[in-house]
Amino acid sequence: MRDRNSRPVVKKIKPGISVTAAAPEQATPYLRPLLRFAAAHVPARKHKETPLYILCTAGMRLLPERQQAAILYDLVTNVPLEFDFLFSKSHAEVISGKQEGVYSWIGINFVLGRFDHEDEEDAVVTVALGDQRKSLVRKRTVGILDMGGASLQIAYEVPDSGAISSPQQDEAAKSLLAEFNLGCDVQHTGHMYRVYVNTFLGFGGNFARQRYEEQVLNQTYVHNRLHSQQIGLSPNMPFLDPCLPVGLEDTVVRGGKTLYMRGQGDWQTCAKLLQPLLAGSNGSHASLVETYKAPIDFSNSEFYGFSEFFYCTEDVLRLGGQYSAPTFTSAAQEYCSQRWEVLMQRFRGGLYSAHADQHRLKYQCFKSAWMYQVLHEGFQFPLDYPSLRTAQLVYDREVQWTLGAILYKTRFLPLRDLRQESIRQAHASWLRLSFVYNHYLFFACILVVALAIILYLLRLRRIHRRQLRSAQHPLLWLDKVVVPLGQGSVP
């Protein structure tokens, strides 16, 4: 939808609804501005048939189930009292990270038109259906990579179900593969999709930096004990951090320990130091290297990178769009090697994106090395992979998981509407045809009746003429037979 000024009809409020955890009765008032906004843009006569979904994500997932249930109960109870939208208990839920990933995947592929199988497309893929005895060729969908501050997510289609072979893979696939039908009919197997979705908590850009700092701090304290040194314990003898720009000074405080750091600007060394973080840390079971990942056909695939993938390539390096590993690596190394004073001078001179701030400049070196490791060491993307684009907008619109969610939730509604419409059209067509046919029949009946009357009149006329002739014949006979005789004659 767009308003009168052709701007997208969108309203956002912060923070998330999880802030009402301590007072769940405030959940409905919290959403009231959003619902009023929606009610103002949806025609009032359509409210009762417009489905409303309230889907909660990460913030709510972190709450205890008791608090989640209390918030949802308030919404289900009170929202229908104020708004006439089509809303029921099943329309309010806390979705999993897997669902959120699937919805994001649906959203981007819908915007790119990858679900339209009628148009001819060079980029196609052969998909094995569930029973593996059937296969079809359709448009190739795109995978997504999304790195936030705390988590990392990946989602992509797995066309070949035979790629999962071992029992261990089978078990992992059950939890990480999502199979669903986006067609308007459950029997429409042409829109069956099998998507690998995984979320890696602690692998976002900011959280990875925290893990790195904790690792450096612990290793430095152990090193100092073993070698009786004082590295990082004072500003005069800082730890030389290869992941910070040259000359930048920073201080890390963890658990009562303080570590003084000074940037060294060595991008390659930084990338090597980050590699162990791919395996997880602090006793966490998460491991980007060991976690099961469905096979990717890199020769016939396409990916879009969002959030940190875009910020890391565009805000400072100005390389957003088509990703090239050699170009990215070269630009990142050049940035890291610059002195902090030079970078700040460039920043004040407006040489970077308007979205870049001092936090971005400070950690750009680290985040570019982390993104590189995640992409090429964690997910094993080839260095010459040509089909990755980093983006914030697609076709000038922000693609979010909410778009995919509403498409998935209402995927069967078009069939109902189309059937009703076809019934109405068929009924209207029949009425129109019946009306036309009735006129023809009426005129035909009139014509038949008229012909019958005419034939009847002609027949009466013929009969009347015959009767007249019959009446005239005896008179003529009498005229010829009766002859006058003379007087005294005997007839």
C-alpha torsion angle, residues 156, 167, 96, 100 (rounded to 10): 0
The response to whether 151 counts as a known ligand-binding position is yes
Q: How far apart are the first and last CA of the chain?
A: 121
Q: Up-side HSE of residue 152: CA atoms within 13 Å toward CB?
A: 23
Q: What's the CA angle centered on 410, arms 428 and 136, to 5 degrees?
A: 90
Does residue 92 contact residue 54 with C-beta atoms inside 8 Å? yes
C-alpha torsion angle, residues 322, 102, 35, 17 (rounded to 10): -100
Of the candidates 97, 93, 23, 25, the one whose C-alpha atom is nearest the C-alpha of residue 65 is: 93
Does residue 301 contact residue 213 with C-beta atoms inside 8 Å? no
Assign residue 245 a region (left: φ > 0; alpha: ψ between -120 and 50; beta: otherwise).
beta
In degrees and rounded to multiples of 5, residue 258 shows phi and psi of -120, 135
The response to whether 152 counts as a known ligand-binding position is yes
Strands 192-201 and 151-157: antiparallel
CB atoms closer than 10 angstroms to residue 329 = 18
Separation between Cα atoms, residue 87 and residue 33, nearest integer Å: 17
- Within 275-357, residue ranges assigned H as helices are 308-314, 325-336, 340-348
Q: What's the CA angle centered on 294, arms 293 and 296, to 5 degrees?
A: 110
Of 82, 100, 179, 308, the catalytic one is 100
The response to whether 475 counts as a known ligand-binding position is no
Give Cβ neighbours of residue 455 (< 8 Å, ≥ 6 apart).
none
341 is catalytic: no
To the nearest 5 percent, what fractions of the chain are helix, strand and coil?
A: 50, 15, 35
Tokens of 75: 């919404």
Angle, to 10 degrees, between the axis of helix 267-274 and the axis of helix 325-336? 110
Does residue 156 contact residue 195 with C-beta atoms inside 8 Å? yes
Tokens of 19: 């802030």
Tell me the DSSP string of 359-380: HHHHHHHHHHHHHHHIIIIIS-
Does residue 173 contact residue 294 with C-beta atoms inside 8 Å? yes
The residues that are catalytic are 100
Residue numbers belonging to the annotated binding site for ATP: 149-153
